[in-house]
Structure 1
Amino acid sequence: MDRKMLFHTERAHGIAIVLDEAVFVAPSLNGVMEDKIYLQNLPSAVVSHVLDPQPGEYVLDMCASPGGKTTHMAILMGDKGRVVAFDKGYEKVKDIERNAKRLGLTIIQAHRNDATKYRKYISEGGEVTNGANPPTFARESFDRILVDPPCSALGIRPRLELSDPLSTDLQQKALFQRNFLRAAVMLLKPGGVLVFSTCTINPGENEGNVRFALDEFPLKLEKPKIRLGGVGVEGMGLSDEERELVQRFEPWGRHDTPGFFCARFRKVGEYR
């Protein structure tokens, strides 16, 4: 049964399951200290520390909804500087704004924007955000950028199949993500930091795209400030040294996390 069938079946049938006992003896945090707490899984929290945004910097989150990483970055910056958040859905942008307001953060500016359509919003002449649709941003202007693009989500929603359609879908996802990487490199200052992350365990979307980025753009991998994940997989074109610099979280790993991946790059030259 696929996702569409699961959620759109007209008539309920089969066996219903009632959860009458919690696996872990822990109280719910729903509604507790909502102005101070935003729940994240461990790898998602690690990502913002890998980006390591500093107070006063100009930072971009390219695929930001619902705003967990966005708000975390703003908190790490002491709510000083500016965090721009993109998402292409109206309600998703509202989610980012609501979460920023709930946590009392003032430096987050959320925009409805399709990050892959970079020719529409990257400007050689400077930034125009007030009243612009879409807003425009100056080329090579951001200090740090997080690219956490749509992915196959195999780290959190395993698909119990191995078929040609799945294989094709995974390849297409990896190629699609490269549009976000290209846009990010165009917007990032020389010397700036780019972090690429996904919630999948598919090497093509992870190590494969790291190899693509290193070959295609003026980027080099850097050692992350925090390292809790394992090394990258072999066979995707990364050297042993490069595999040591990326972080891969496996669902069966020692930290009991969803599958996840992140890599930190430094931009070492202009890209036009």
Structure 2
Amino acid sequence: MRLHRNLVFATLDALSEIFNEGAYADKVIAKTLKRDKRWGARDRGFIAETTYEIVRWKRLYAEIAEVKEPFDRENLFRIFTVWATLRGIKLPDWPQFEGTPTRRIKGKFDSLSKIRKMRESIPDWLDEVGVAELGEKTWEKEIAALNQQAPVLLRVNTLKTTPEKLQQLLKEEEIIVHKIKGYPEALQLEERANVFQTQAFKDGLFEVQDASSQLVAHFLEVKPGMRVVDTCAGAGGKTLHLAALMENKGQIIATDIYGNKLKELKRRAKRAGAHNIEPREIDSTKVIKKLYNTADRVLIDAPCSGLGVLSRNPDAKWKLQPEFIDNIKKTQAEIIAKYSKILKPGGKMVYATCSILPSENQQQVEFFLASDEGKDFKLVKDQKLLSSETGFDGFYMALLEKKE
């Protein structure tokens, strides 16, 4: 691989924004890729993948490069040099690469790799939380899995097509996908590609959605004609899946505290041909109270630490703080207590998170069932998905039933 100056500089600019200004990696990368119209797919791929990789291994690379935050341009170049050296990339004779201590870099990598928090490039506090909640052995496997690049998964929109037809259509657009056993609507890309440019995407034939996330709507056991409330709908990935499983029959009320996310949901629903979704912004407590005792099914895809999706959001490792996890657990407990009241007697509810921590998952469900609000509920089943076991996102879901 030959390094091109403008691509390296664009990568360093992106890293500076992410590390020094606290910007979100996905937004910075999307903006950076629009900088030069002459860049081809390979150039854009280099910037995106290199940026993500250096974000993922920030602590390890900075330690090897012997630099501390905030990183100035020279320090970012030193971190980039560590990345390139460890990847075996031949360094061009630019002044910034002069005197690179290749052997020392490799030696430091070998010795630091013996320490888990360095090897997996995570903050001390996160390593401690992982061990405390999952145990040494499971955490070791899980954090290693969460440091792998996430695969790209599509969810076939069964309102408009079938997995077989979509597979064929994408093949015509030179994108090869294959089915995955146990995930009925999922197709996995063999190679990363910009699927949003395809005609199939513009026609609403699929959404990009991880395989673990695709199990949540199935877990809720919806049927056509039901009244379903998706309480933390966001931009609606799971809402759209519910609409497809309900064959557009019945009603889905999609609520969220962020109106801009519901606008995006409306746009996506139109493209997907999902007509049974009604977005409602939670701008006061009345919105939820009006729904009490009215739904056959309730989905609570609760806000969480997001530790199960680190492979696709590596910058979350550096943004997340221990206080946030403590606060989000309080929010989860409040949400489940309040939103469970939406369910009719005899109805079913799913509590789900994209976290791997038992304190956000099983323990929240146990806490709810032991509370006043949860006394009429029973746990039907739950499922814990670990990245180290599935190769997909870490997730948790619990199906609860309200007594008749």
Corresponding position of 1:64:
233
User: Cα offset for 1:156?
Assistant: 1.4
Deviation at 1:141, TM superposition (A): 0.4
Question: Which segments of 5 or more consecutive residues in structure 1 lack a partner in the other structure?
Answer: 124-136, 223-244
Q: 1:41 matched to which residue of 2?
A: 210
CA distance in 2, matches of 1:67, 1:144: 16
* Aligned mates of 1:178, 1:113 — CA distance in 2: 18
SS in 2 for 1:7: coil
- Return the alpha-carbon distance in structure 2 between the equivalents of residues 263 and 3 of structure 1: 36
Over 3 Å counting, the alpha-carbon distance change for 1:4 and 1:186 in structure 2 is farther
Alpha-carbon shift at residue 25 of structure 1 (Å): 4.6
Query: Matched residues in 2 for 1:58 and 1:160: separation?
Result: 38
Question: Which residue matches 2:196?
Answer: 30
* TM-score, normalised by the number of residues in structure 1: 0.74
In structure 1, how many angstroms separate the alpha carbons of the residues matched to 2:317 and 2:253? Answer: 37
1:146 paired to 2:299: yes
The number of residue pairs the alignment matches comes to 225
Matched letter for residue 304 of structure 2: C
Distance 1:65 1:268 in 2: 29
Deviation at 1:268, TM superposition (A): 1.1
Match of 2:382 in 1: 246
The sequence identity of aligned pairs, in percent, is 30
* Structure 2 SS opposite 1:252: helix
| Contact 1:36–1:103 under 8 Å retained in 2 | yes
Aligned to 1:264: 399
Q: Matched residue of 2:206: which SS?
A: coil
Determine which structure has more spread, i.e. the larger CA radius of gyration. Answer: 2
Aligned pair partner of 2:243 in 58, 74, 98: 74
Task: Give the direction of change, closer, same or farther, for the CA distance of 1:27–1:252 in structure 2 (3 Å limit).
Answer: closer
Are 1:7 and 2:17 matched, yes or no? no
Please say if 1:200 is aligned against 2:355: yes
Q: Which residue of 2 aligns with 1:225?
A: none
2:378 counterpart (213, 220, 235): 220
Task: Note closer, same or farther for the CA distance 1:6–1:78 as it changes in structure 2 (3 Å cut).
Answer: same
Higher RCO (CA-CA < 8 Å; seq separation 6+): 1
1:184–1:194: 8 Å Cα contact kept in structure 2?
A: no
Distance change >3 Å, CA 52–CA 3, structure 1 → 2? farther
Deviation at 1:202, TM superposition (A): 1.4
Instruction: State the partner residue of 1:85.
Output: 254
Residues 107-149 of structure 1: CA distance to partner in whole angstroms, max 9, x if unpaired?
Answer: 00111115xx64x2244xxxxxxxxxxxxx2420001010011
TM-score, with structure 2 as normaliser: 0.51
Q: Please, which runs of 5 or more residues in structure 2 have no aligned partner?
A: 1-15, 25-69, 88-148, 152-188
Superposition deviation, residue 264 in structure 1: 0.4
Matched-pair contact (CA < 8 Å) for 2:226–2:296: yes
CA displacement at 1:96 relative to structure 2: 0.7
Change (3 A) 1:187 1:25: closer
Q: Is the 8 A contact 2:346 2:401 kept in 1?
A: yes
Other structure's SS at 1:38 match: strand
C-alpha distance in 1, partners of 2:20/2:346?
44
Aligned equivalent of 2:328, options 173, 180, 190:
173
Query: Is the counterpart of residue 121 in structure 1 residue 287 in structure 2?
Result: yes
Q: More helix by proportion, 1 or 2?
A: 2
Q: CA RMSD in A?
A: 3.0
- What is the distance in 2 between the residues matched to 1:150 and 1:63? 8
Alignment correspondent of 1:99: 268
Question: Is the Cα–Cα contact under 8 Å of residues 140 and 188 in structure 1 kept in the other structure?
Answer: yes
